[in-house]
Amino acid sequence: MNSSHPYAERYPVNTTMPATGRDQAEILAELREIAVAEDAVWERGQCSGTMYCGDHDHYGFMAEAFERFAHVNALQRDMCPSATRFEGEIIAMTLDMLHADAVTEGEPAGMVTSGGSGSILHAVLAYREEARNQGIGRPNIVKPETGHPAFDKAGYLLGVEVRRAPIDPVTTRADLDAVVDLIDESTVALVGSATNYGYGTIDPIEELAEIAVTRGIGLHVDGCLGGFILPWGEELGYNVPRWDFRVPGVTTISADTHKYAYGFKGTSVLAFADKALRNGQYFYVTDWTGGKYCSPGIEGSRSGGLLAATWAAMVSLGRNGYLDRARGIFETSFAMQAAVRSHPELRIMGDPTFCFSFTSDVLDIYHVNDAMRDKGWRFNGQQYPDAIHMAVTGPQTRPGVVERFAADLAEAVAFAASGPTAPPATGAIYGGVAGGLDDDAEEFIRGVMAQMMDEHQSIPTR
């Protein structure tokens, strides 16, 4: 397939605006063909993360909810008060799940954002504004090096320094002494993950919270990945340490509704222990000729369809639905981890739950990854050390997937142990972009981004 013009061999490529529009039935038939082909990539349960639900009936249900409100602008609450209902109840249900009733000082609140990066960006914005209120001109936050790069992106965009603390190489959790060493008078918040993306392990949130309280700073818990599954895992009896608003000192939590809440891509919740911290999100211009402008966050216009679909997903599943799905995911994850542990050449990183990573001290783990890829598995590669990441989702809970994983892994380990002469074809790029990296990593990544964003356009000269 031509990566610049995917599907060019089957469908016309639009490099200019068509002179006349195409038949709608023909367009929909084309879209159905593409969707069926691309769904086949994950439907066998061999793709890490990405497709958290995998239930086409659930997708169809949400699609109908989305359709009813797709054309609605969530900013126009006077015309469409449904957006207020959907958003308010999404936030309320999330706060309930995160035990916001345990907050003793402050009034818990929240906001719906465009995704995990959006929630993290808004959290960093809240802490930056809090720093300005305290007269801190160049604030910083401290995160474990396993903290998501979205914090680095937010720091870059908002002028907030992001300091990285090393982790304990055995537990893969934040090194508390290192965190303390990085705190100074300009530090406004600490970060902990529940779970971190790479290893699926939970940082010592209670200890981080004690540090934050002692220093009089905030603590953001990044639950973008685990926020909507860890609560149900705890309720099912799994060993999940406390990480939510039951821990005094936790001031904000991000939790993605488009992951284990099984909503469509494009929504997340940022929860605040105190509404006063959320006030830093508001933007307004009162002297514009177009009228007084204000927005409750960084985004402006938003489709009411995503709010409706997310709300519909949450109320249709309810506590019992989330518990049932979590049970299958936890059981599947531990069964897959057992398959990994059955090979002495492999090593699980830390003490994970639904998401895990494994490496090897004797094999090139990317040779294992190559062999698994040839069998249709799509993992995410990691580095420092090289490792393979598997986030277990709904599709892996289907019958036969665990057995297929165990059998394919055994063959992959044998292949890696046989001493392949060629270097591995796979590498460590977030999101599963294939290919190894060398010293020209930044140039390579710029090329990949350009290919994704620009080359497909092929804008002609006139």
pLDDT at 110 over 90: yes
Domain 82-313 fold: Aspartate Aminotransferase; domain 2 (3.40.640)
3 φψ region: left (φ > 0), alpha (ψ -120 to 50), beta (else): alpha
d(CA 177, CA 165): 9
pLDDT tens for each residue of 7-38? 989 998 998 999 999 999 999 999 999 999 99
Average the pLDDT over 86-114 and give the result.
Answer: 97
Indicate if the pLDDT at residue 252 is higher than 60.
yes
Domain ranges of the chain: 82-313, 318-445
97 pLDDT tier (thresholds 50, 70, 90): very high
CB 340 within 8 A of CB 394: no
pLDDT surpasses 90 at 235: yes
Place of tokens 């993605």: 256
447: number of CA atoms within 13 Å, CB side?
Answer: 9
Distance of CA 215 to the CA centre of its chain: 29
Q: How much of the chain exceeds pLDDT 90, in percent?
A: 85
Angle in degrees, 0-180, between the axes of helices 56-69 and 304-341, rounded to the nearest 10: 160
Which ranges of 23-142 would DSSP assign to H, the alpha helix?
24-39, 56-69, 82-97, 116-133
> What is the DSSP code string of 277-292?
HHGGG-EEESS-TT--
Average pLDDT over residues 130-157: 97
Distance CA 158, CA 156 (A): 6
Which tokens belong to 348? 């699980």
pLDDT digits 0-9 by tens, 370-417: 999 999 999 999 999 999 999 999 999 999 999 999 999 999 999 999
Q: Are 231 and 244 in contact, with CB atoms under 8 Å apart?
A: yes
How confident is the model over 332-343, as a mean pLDDT?
Answer: 98
Q: What percent of the chain has pLDDT over 70?
A: 92
What is the predicted pLDDT for the residue at 461? Answer: 40
Distance between CA atoms of residues 457 and 462, nearest Å: 15
The three-point CA angle 37-42-43 to 5° equals 85
| Residue 73 C-beta-side C-alpha neighbours within 13 Å | 8
What's the confidence (pLDDT) of residue 435?
40
DSSP state of 112: E
- End-to-end Cα, the chain, rounded Å: 28
**pTM of the model as a whole:** 0.92
358 membership: H or E segment, kind and range: strand 355-359
Q: Which CATH number fits domain 318-445: 3.90.1330.10, 3.40.50.300, 3.40.50.2000, 3.90.1150.10?
A: 3.90.1150.10
